[in-house]
Chains A and B, each alone.
Chain A
Amino acid sequence: MKAVLQNQLARWGFAIILTILILALLAPLIAPYDPDAIDVKSILLAPSSAHWMGTDGLGRDVFSRMLFGARISLLVGFVAVGIATVIGVILGAIAGFYRGWVDVLIMRLVDVMLSIPTFFLILAVIAFLSPSIWNIMVVIGLTSWMGVTRLVRAEFLSLREREYVLSAQTLGAKNGRLIFRHLLPNSLTPIIVSFVLGVASAVLVESGLSFLGLGVQPPQASWGNILTDGKEYIEFAWWLSLFPGLAILLTVLGYNLLGEGLRDALDPRSAKINA
């Protein structure tokens, strides 16, 4: 971690994410209004001291909705990518460790999944399950594990040939021990990096789904659906799109900078370069 924070960009990224996380966690304390409180007498008010980020089409306070929306957007990112990572690590580990026909089978499954557009899968499943945050998280998770699988498999394949693993194996270490004590801990770096970068993409996917009307259900707020609400008034009610747009931008940027920083710091190759 220390190495990571020595990287300036990663430090910025970390700071951004931490700030947004804290704001999201403290939302109920900070938010000046109930995010769902409707007031048809104050529709689309420009930012003022009463409403820092103005109000939306139903007179709700955008600042409060942004804070609560942060929870949803971040939650969607974390859980979705968490699901993808778990699936990816399990399948990748099996493929990379056992090789042979299991490997072939899993990698062909990866090929199949990569050939079906993610958006189509998401749309079809959401149409079937109906949109809710949980379904959205599950669906994004179920459709984005392929990258992690490939990564972990490649990592395992190369680690398996390392001397310490081979010697552990000849000393009679069980497969489980091999995987959990030797292989997995040493593949952790790329997994963490891909997790962090994955969260960034998931936040963007959520906003895209909202654009298509398949996002989080009303009246719940997410950055994606606040932004979508504002898209028809981009120059008039600019506050309705500017704040969520910036929030998404900063969050995704933060995760990316952090992810790149992690990669730089933890990757032995670039360590050599920095030296």
Chain B
Amino acid sequence: MMRYLLKRLFWMVPLLVGISLISFLIMHLAPGDITTTEAAFNPKASEESREKLRKLYHLDEPVIKQYGYWLERMVKLDFGNSFASHQRPVFWEKQDEHGNVQKGLIQDALPVTLLINVLSLVLIIVAALPLGVLSALYHNKPADRGITVFVFVGFAVPGFWLALMMMYWLGVAHNWLPISGLHSLGHEKMGWFGQLWDYFRHLAIPVFISALGGLAGISLFVKNGMLDVLHQDYITTARAKGLPENTVVYRHALRNAMLPLITLLGLSIPGLIGGSVIAESLFAIPGMGKLFYDAVLMRDFPVIMGILTIGAALTLVGNLLADVAYAWADPRVRRGVMH
């Protein structure tokens, strides 16, 4: 097991280098750089000043050399600073020589995105388990069909359309929920419960929308897992022993059906840090999706690379964790992965 782990970890290094190189090349494939986008069409802005910037950021040098600079910094775990005029650190806060601290861009955006994604994942699981189990128990009966259609509708509805309709219905027509943002204007003056409630109200629609889209995948997964398990010999045995149906279903069947879910959850770890640009723009939530999208549009290379690298590393770790967790949970597989 240990050797396997080490081998997988060792593989991650060349993979990460490969991913970063490919990302770097793709990024430079797209025309334009930060100097074309900043103050681009202001007649008062001069080309010399842009040339100056280009030199400062080494944008005038060959791509492969620029990649070299970037890699050199990465070895020291320095994600660099944004090219945008605020020059904030890409990843985490840094202190300059005067003792001023600047917060990192990812440091600001990540908690928000993480919060929304974790909440929506929890919501998905809470909803998917009963839906999946019911679907399996009433396989091919109206209840199953109803659930299947429902979760597929959730997947199929264009998210931004539903989001806008809910914003209109709940926010404008009824004034029940805030439309966008994370905090009300008077947030600071609320008590802790008031603040929590305020968060909850702001996050309700975004989390719901995000969960709705992911519900189909997980609930079908649970359903298929249950269907497989329900026809295994040991379930038949348990039934034959005269155990109550509830015990059979929840104690024996569900537990086994949930095994593969662990893998799925491991695989969804990297997804947790990626926000959706569309949702974040609509709800005015300053998360990772918007940060990344804006960086791409601005050609803010250090930010793009920072997010891609962290995302890639997390994906690889997530894959590994999923495999390990699954192996740990199921001794049959544990032997399998060793080969």
Contacts and interface: CB of A to CB of B under 8 A. Distances in A.
B111 interface: no
A117 to B, nearest CB: 6
B65 interface: no
Given A115-B315, A123-B296, A211 B160 contact: yes
B158 A112 contact: no
Contacts of B278: 208, 211-212
Interface residues of A, number: 44
Contact of B161 (A117, A227, A256): A227
B145 A248 contact: no
B296 A120 contact: yes
B71 interface: no
Interface in A243-275: 245, 248-253, 256-257, 260, 269-270, 272-274
B19 A274 contact: no
A269 B149 contact: no
A56 B319 CA distance: 47
Contacts of A234: 161, 164-165, 168
B106 to A, nearest CB: 15
Nearest to B223: A260
B22, B156, B277, B304 interface centre (most CB from chain A within 10 Å) = B156
Contact of B23 (A116, A127, A252, A269): A116
Interface stretch (B26-34, B89-97, B200-208, B254-262): B26-34
B17 to A, nearest CB: 10
Contact of A128 (B30, B139, B228): B30
A119 B277 contact: yes
Contact of A272 (B152, B160, B231, B270): B231
A253 B22 contact: no
A137 interface: no
B18 A112 contact: yes
- How many B residues are at the interface, by size bracket? 35 or more
Nearest to A115: B312
B164 A253 contact: no
B212 to A, nearest CB: 12
Interface string A125-141: 10110000000000000
Nearest to A234: B164
A120 B158 contact: no
Contacts of A85: none
B308 A120 contact: yes
Interface string B138-163: 01100001001100110111101100
A124 B19 contact: no
Contacts of B139: 273
A232 to B, nearest CB: 9
B29 A128 contact: yes
Interface string A196-211: 0000100010011001
Given A111-B319, A245-B161, A116 B19 contact: yes
B11 interface: yes
Interface in A1-30: 7-9
B156 A248 contact: yes
Interface string B220-260: 10001001100100000000000000000000000000000
Contact of A245 (B26, B145, B157): B157
A257 B160 contact: no
A46 B148 CA distance: 34
B153 A235 contact: no
Contacts of A245: 157-158, 161
Contacts of B224: 270
15 contacts: A112-B19, A115-B311, A123-B296, A124-B296, A125-B30, A128-B29, A212-B277, A235-B168, A248-B156, A253-B153, A256-B155, A256-B156, A256-B216, A257-B152, A273-B227
Given A108-B15, A212-B293, A252-B156, 10 more contacts: A108-B18, A112-B19, A116-B22, A120-B296, A123-B30, A127-B30, A227-B161, A231-B160, A260-B220, A270-B227
CB-based closest 5 A-B pairs: A252-B156, A115-B312, A127-B30, A253-B156, A115-B315
